[in-house]
């Protein structure tokens, strides 16, 4: 079922955002001017708006169990590294150290692999155990990003160190050299074949990768970032030049929709717009923005997906989560009601990070 939403006053939203940013900048300048200060101030965030606070309270109530397990209500109430990573990032954004701690501790106790500093993808409540030990690289990336942010903000060395370990494991196990490129593969198993390598463009979490490069140096992450950017530029298919959920790389400049998956700009690829907007990659998100604007110019809802080969579009609109990402990218209205679906609600929350 497609979520309905009301439009908010864009001018009011913009004024509130400018005021929050101004307050944050004033606070940072005041701290920098204090005599005797020899270290950079710890990260500070603007106070969340009433809407953001109410969304966070609702998200936490509906999708976070007391022990720190993020529950995927649309997928049999399982938990996975993606959900845990989102929970960590959102708890950090909300400034709730206790909530962050509970999520981090549950994640380490139930999803952390023992052979390397990565996380198994799936935990099932019926088994009370991890049932899929293969990792999801995007979950690992966001976990490492959130841990690094929290370690710095709350001066917690164990989180900073764990973030470093996870980054090193991602670099060692989830980046391969093929076709004269550094390819960020989606997981340890199931994506690399002699005939080609399957990638997911939405796993390129630009703000996290930029943080990795800042922490470890461009010598470690620069090539990975540049090649991932270039591959996304090559992943422009159909008359709208859109990326699709999964691509197959068969040469340095040979990129096509993955042949064993629907060639859709859909539920995965929509995060290309999310991470691109957050990571200031406007050149990479430009085709998506152009397509979405064309839909709005025609006074029709943005479809939930489009087949980049045939041009067929879904006969239903974006969820509230997708609408929030479109709002972030285009500077248009955000939905004002949080979805009751885990994935859509998480997209809504992440669009405001």
Of 16-20, 134-138, 176-180, the least confident: 16-20
Whether the per-residue pLDDT at 9 is higher than 70: the answer is no
Whether the per-residue pLDDT at 133 is higher than 80: the answer is yes
307 counts as catalytic: no
Q: Are 210 and 279 contacting, i.e. CB atoms less than 8 angstroms apart?
A: yes
What confidence score (pLDDT) does residue 52 get? 80
Average pLDDT over the chain reads 89
What confidence score (pLDDT) does residue 46 get? 63
Q: Pick the closest to residue 340 from 71, 123, 87 (CA basis).
A: 71
What confidence score (pLDDT) does residue 353 get? 86
Tell me what the mean pLDDT of segment 47-66 comes to: 88
Looking at the chain, the whole-number percentage of residues with pLDDT higher than 90 is 84
Whether the per-residue pLDDT at 301 is higher than 60: the answer is yes
Of 20-24, 91-95, 328-332, the least confident: 20-24
Which one of 3, 72, 82, 307 is the catalytic residue? 82
Which one of 3, 138, 245, 341 is the catalytic residue? 138
**For every residue of the chain, which 3-state class applies, written as one string?**
CCCCCCCCCHHHHHHHHHHHHHHHHHHHHHHHCCCCCCCCCCCCCCCCCHHHHHHHHHHHHHHECCCCCECECCCCCEEEHHHHHHHHHHHHHHCCHHHHHHHHHHHHHHCECCCCCCECCEEECCCCEEEECCCCHHHHHHHHHHHHHHHHHCCCHHHHHHHHHHHHHHHHHCEEEECCEEEECCCCCCCEECCEEEECHHHCCHHHHHHHHHHHCHHHHHHHHHHHHHHHHHCCECCCCECCCCEEEEECCEEEECCCCCCEECCCCHHHHHHHHHCCCHHHHHHHHHHHHHHHHCCCCCECCEECCCCCECCCECCHHHHHHHHHHHCCCCCCCCCCCHHHHHHHHHCCC
Whether the per-residue pLDDT at 273 is higher than 70: the answer is yes
Q: Please report the domains of the chain, with CATH numbers, ordered by start residue.
A: 44-173 (1.50.10.10)
- Residue 125: pLDDT band with limits 50, 70, 90: very high
82 counts as catalytic: yes
Q: Pick the closest to residue 201 from 229, 167, 178, 174 (CA basis).
A: 229
């Amino acid at each position: 079922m497609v979520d309905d939403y009301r439009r908010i006053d864009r001018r009011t939203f913009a004024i509130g955002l400018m005021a929050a940013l101004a307050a944050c900048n004033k606070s940072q300048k005041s701290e920098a001017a204090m005599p005797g200060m020899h270290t950079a101030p710890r990260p500070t965030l603007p106070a969340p708006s009433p809407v953001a606070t109410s969304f966070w309270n609702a998200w936490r109530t509906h999708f976070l169990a007391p022990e720190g397990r993020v529950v995927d209500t649309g997928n049999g109430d399982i938990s996975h590294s993606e959900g845990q990573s989102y929970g960590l990032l959102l708890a950090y954004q909300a400034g709730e150290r206790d909530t962050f701690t509970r999520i981090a501790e549950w994640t380490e106790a139930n999803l952390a692999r023992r052979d390397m500093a990565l996380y198994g993808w799936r935990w099932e409540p019926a088994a009370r155990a991890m049932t899929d030990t293969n990792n999801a690289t995007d979950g690992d990336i966001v976990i490492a990003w959130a841990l690094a942010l929290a370690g710095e903000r709350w001066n917690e060395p164990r989180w900073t160190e764990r973030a470093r370990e996870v980054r090193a494991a991602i670099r060692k196990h989830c980046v391969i050299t093929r076709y004269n490129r550094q390819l960020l593969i989606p997981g340890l198993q199931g994506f690399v074949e002699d005939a080609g390598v399957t990638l997911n463009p939405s796993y390129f979490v630009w703000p996290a990768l930029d943080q990795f490069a800042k922490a470890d140096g461009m010598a470690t992450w620069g090539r990975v970032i540049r090649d991932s950017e270039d591959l996304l530029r090559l992943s422009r298919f159909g008359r709208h030049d859109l990326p699709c959920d999964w691509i197959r790389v068969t040469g340095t400049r040979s990129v096509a929709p993955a042949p064993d998956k629907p060639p859709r700009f859909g539920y995965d690829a929509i995060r290309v717009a999310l991470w691109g907007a957050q990571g200031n990659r406007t050149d990479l998100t430009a085709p998506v923005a152009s397509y979405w604007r064309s839909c709005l110019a025609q006074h029709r809802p943005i479809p939930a997906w489009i087949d980049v080969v045939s041009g067929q579009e879904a006969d239903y609109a974006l969820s509230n989560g997708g609408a929030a990402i479109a709002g972030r990218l285009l500077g248009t209205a955000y939905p004002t009601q949080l979805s009751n679906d885990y994935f859509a609600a998480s997209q809504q929350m992440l669009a405001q990070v």
